[in-house]
């Protein structure tokens, strides 16, 4: 499922940082508070690009199993799924191989292809590479466990299936919001309400900071 947002709503959400979005989701109680986001094992590998916001196109992958045949890869199926998805898309790749620490799922050619097909970035719990070349694409987000020099034997397996990235379930079409702090999933049922809640949270935090930064600050007053 893909939530229907107007262009104005989409841009308003993208203008907010990911921690504030995470805070704004909590009051709706649509999921446990300790869920719906990735851990620090998923890193923003190209800082400075601002916010990534887009709709998930999911797949599983394995780059560390020698016996798999390249002709069995579903890479073209993944490309077709990105092309057909709502835009911007976010390619989400769950590693299902036996050696995730040495996996590598996207490099310059794949990243460029995904961008041309309308993707804003890639999120994977495995490795990525060609960081210099992908950085030079200018506005393509790269989130992964780290960088790996070789692609091994890369295989895209199942496409448009539910995956799990760093404990965060992701279904096809899920709305993902990410910046240098990490990535959070915005539930469909409250996506059109998070901006108003984020504004309320910002006002609250601004008042707390005003108190903390005031010359007569005390812990009693903070309470």
Contact 49, 141 (CB under 8 A): yes
- pLDDT at 84 (0 to 100): 97
The sign of the CA dihedral 138, 13, 164, 156 is negative
Nearest CA among 54, 83, 57 for reference residue 156: 57
- pLDDT at 165 (0 to 100): 98
- pLDDT at 219 (0 to 100): 83
Q: Splitting the chain (223 residues) into consecutive groups of 10 residues, what average pLDDT does each group show?
A: 85 97 97 96 97 98 78 86 97 95 96 98 98 96 97 92 98 98 97 96 92 86 65
- pLDDT at 66 (0 to 100): 72
- Does this model's pTM top 0.85? yes
- pLDDT at 71 (0 to 100): 61
Rounded CA gap, 32 and 35, in Å? Answer: 6
Question: Which residues have C-beta within 8 Å of that of residue 36, sequence separation ≥ 6?
Answer: 22, 25, 168, 184, 185, 187
Contact 13, 5 (CB under 8 A): yes
Question: Residue 189: how many CB atoms within 10 A of its CB?
Answer: 11
Domain boundaries defined on the chain = 7-222
Nearest CA among 65, 5, 42 for reference residue 179: 42
- pLDDT at 32 (0 to 100): 95
- pLDDT at 216 (0 to 100): 86
Question: Which residues have C-beta within 8 Å of that of residue 43, sequence separation ≥ 6?
Answer: 143, 144, 145, 146
**Class of the CATH domain delimited by 7-222:** alpha beta
Question: Residue 179: how many CB atoms within 10 A of its CB?
Answer: 21
Q: What does the block give as tokens for 111?
A: 């990243």
């Amino acid at each position: 499922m893909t939530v229907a947002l107007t262009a104005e709503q989409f841009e308003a959400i993208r203008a907010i940082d990911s921690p504030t979005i995470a805070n704004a989701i909590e009051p709706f109680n649509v999921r446990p508070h300790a869920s719906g986001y990735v851990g620090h094992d998923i890193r923003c590998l190209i800082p400075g690009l601002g916010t990534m916001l887009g709709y998930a196109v999911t797949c599983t992958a394995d780059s560390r199993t020698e016996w798999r045949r390249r002709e069995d890869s579903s890479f073209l199926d993944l490309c077709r799924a990105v092309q057909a998805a709502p835009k911007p898309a976010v390619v989400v790749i769950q590693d299902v191989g036996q050696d995730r620490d040495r996996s590598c799922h996207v490099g310059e050619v794949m990243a460029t292809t995904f961008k041309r097909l309308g993707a804003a970035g890639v999120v994977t719990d495995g490795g990525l590479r060609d960081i210099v070349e992908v950085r030079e694409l200018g506005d393509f987000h790269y989130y992964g466990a780290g960088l790996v020099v070789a692609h091994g034997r890369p295989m895209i397996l199942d496409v448009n299936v539910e995956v799990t990235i760093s404990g965060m379930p992701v279904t096809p079409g899920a709305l993902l919001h990410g910046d240098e702090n990490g990535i959070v999933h915005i539930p469909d049922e409250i996506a059109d309400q998070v901006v108003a809640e984020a504004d309320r949270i910002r006002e609250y935090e601004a008042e707390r900071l005003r108190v903390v930064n005031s010359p007569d600050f005390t812990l009693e007053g903070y309470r």
